[in-house]
């Protein structure tokens, strides 16, 4: 099953190039009061509601997906986890290009572990990504995003994929510079998730998917998730050794080689085999950023 959030927060089932509006199913979610739950209520309820969503989708008249505004389908994760330097060829390019590594020698993910991106940086394909035009380089990073389906802690790698509800395309937009990743990767709309969630049953092997991103029609990044250093199962296990994972937590699994800058007016087109594709505009950020501190 593929589901999306669209227009004014409507829930859709995607079949082919059409969206079936199943928003009334959301009335079956438990009513929330303060404090709100620390997880995405729809993902948590998905095993129960999936049948209702599919049944309603059968009954309603769909509209072309091109006619709706797609938003991030996972709006309420407890956290967005990023996996740094998780492809060898990306580490090699970072060590060649001082604008990426900022004078540091980059090691592999084993050394750094994972990092968090702010939830307020989440956005969907219909929302342009704002970047500064000068001084600071902002790069695209296309990544497979795994969406946690069940609360889990300290799970072994073998069997870890059963805690994944589904997958989406993630863009881990990044300002290059010496600051912490959590700052440089958490600007508004720097975590693009879309075009929809594809449930895990449609993706039997997430560790063998072609992924790519084009900017203005030119291929920039093109690889396969089989080249991940920490594969999806290992990442879920690794993260769960540190944090409790909750339904809706988003794990951006890392980006392959070919990262590069984007500027206002550019159009990004990201694609992952079996997951889908999406087009995202880049726009100008109106407030300037401070210049980077000197490299240490």
182-221: which residues touch Mn ion (CB under 5 A)?
none
Least distance from Mn ion to the Cβ atom of residue 254, Å: 6
Least distance from Mn ion to the Cβ atom of residue 39, Å: 23
Stretch that binds Mn ion, among 26-34, 70-78, 154-162, 249-257 (CB under 5 A): 249-257
**Does 255 contact Mn ion by CB under 5 A?**
yes
55-84: which residues touch Mn ion (CB under 5 A)?
none
Least distance from Mn ion to the Cβ atom of residue 91, Å: 12
Least distance from Mn ion to the Cβ atom of residue 82, Å: 5
User: Which of 21/172 has CB closer to Mn ion?
Assistant: 172
User: Which of 3/115 has CB closer to Mn ion?
Assistant: 115
Least distance from Mn ion to the Cβ atom of residue 11, Å: 28
User: Which of 21/141 has CB closer to Mn ion?
Assistant: 141
Q: Angle at the Cα of 49 (from 169 to 166), degrees rounded to 5?
A: 20
| Site size for Mn ion (CB under 5 A) | 3
**Does 172 contact Mn ion by CB under 5 A?**
yes
As given in the structure block, the two tokens for residue 247 are 């339904």
Least distance from Mn ion to the Cβ atom of residue 141, Å: 4
Least distance from Mn ion to the Cβ atom of residue 250, Å: 12
Cβ-count burial 14-32 (b if 16+ within 10 Å, e if not): beeebbbbbbebeeeeeee
Stretch that binds Mn ion, among 65-73, 117-125, 191-199, 248-256 (CB under 5 A): 248-256
**Does 141 contact Mn ion by CB under 5 A?**
yes
Q: Angle at the Cα of 211 (from 209 to 213), degrees rounded to 5?
A: 170
User: Which of 20/136 has CB closer to Mn ion?
Assistant: 136
Stretch that binds Mn ion, among 57-65, 106-114, 140-148, 224-232 (CB under 5 A): 140-148
Stretch that binds Mn ion, among 12-20, 128-136, 161-169, 254-262 (CB under 5 A): 254-262
User: Which of 172/249 has CB closer to Mn ion?
Assistant: 172
User: Which of 11/169 has CB closer to Mn ion?
Assistant: 169
Instruction: Annotate the chain with three-state secondary structure.
Output: CEEEEECCCEEEEEECCEEEECHHHHHHCCCCCCCCCCCCHHHHHHHHHHHHHHHHHHHCCCEEHHHCCEECCCCCCCCEEECCCCEHHHHHHHHHCHHHHCCCCCCCHHHHCCEEECHHHEECCCCCEEECCCCCCEEECEEEEEEECCCECCCCCCCHHHHEEEEEEEEECEECCCCCHHHHCCCCCCEEEEEEEEEHHHCCCCCCCEEEEEECCEEEEEEEHHHECCCHHHHHHHHHHHCCECCCCEEECCCCCCCEECCCCCEEEEEECCCEEEEEEEEECCCCCCCCCCCC
Least distance from Mn ion to the Cβ atom of residue 144, Å: 11
Footprint on this chain of Mn ion (rule: CB under 5 A):
141, 172, 255
């Amino acid at each position: 099953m593929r589901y999306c959030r669209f227009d004014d927060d409507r829930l859709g089932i995607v079949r082919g190039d059409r969206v079936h509006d199943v928003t009334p199913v959301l009335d079956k979610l438990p009513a929330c009061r303060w404090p709100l739950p620390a997880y995405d209520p729809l993902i948590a309820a998905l095993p129960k509601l999936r049948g209702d969503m599919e049944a309603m989708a059968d009954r309603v008249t769909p509209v072309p997906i091109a006619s709706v505004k797609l938003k991030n389908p996972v709006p309420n994760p407890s956290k967005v986890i990023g996996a740094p330097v998780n492809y060898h060829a990306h580490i090699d390019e970072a060590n060649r290009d001082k604008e990426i590594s900022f004078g540091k020698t980059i090691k592999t993910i084993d050394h750094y572990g994972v990092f968090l991106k702010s939830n307020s940086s989440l956005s969907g394909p219909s929302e342009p990504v704002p970047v500064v035009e000068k001084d600071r380089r902002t790069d695209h990073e296309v990544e497979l995003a795994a969406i946690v389906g069940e609360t889990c802690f300290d799970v072994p790698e073998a069997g870890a994929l059963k805690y994944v509800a589904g997958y989406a395309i993630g863009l881990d937009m990044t300002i290059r510079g010496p600051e912490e990743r959590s700052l440089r990767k958490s600007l508004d709309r720097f975590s693009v998730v879309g075009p929809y969630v594809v449930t895990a049953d449609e993706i039997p092997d997430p560790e063998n998917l072609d992924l790519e991103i084009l900017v203005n029609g030119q291929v920039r990044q093109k690889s396969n998730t089989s080249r991940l250093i920490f594969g999806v199962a290992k990442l879920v296990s690794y993260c769960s050794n540190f944090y409790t994972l909750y339904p809706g937590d988003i794990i951006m699994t890392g980006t392959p080689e070919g990262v590069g800058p984007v500027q206002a007016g550019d159009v990004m087109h990201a694609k992952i085999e079996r997951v889908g594709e999406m087009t995202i505009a880049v726009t100008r950020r109106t407030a300037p950023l401070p210049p980077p501190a000197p490299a240490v």
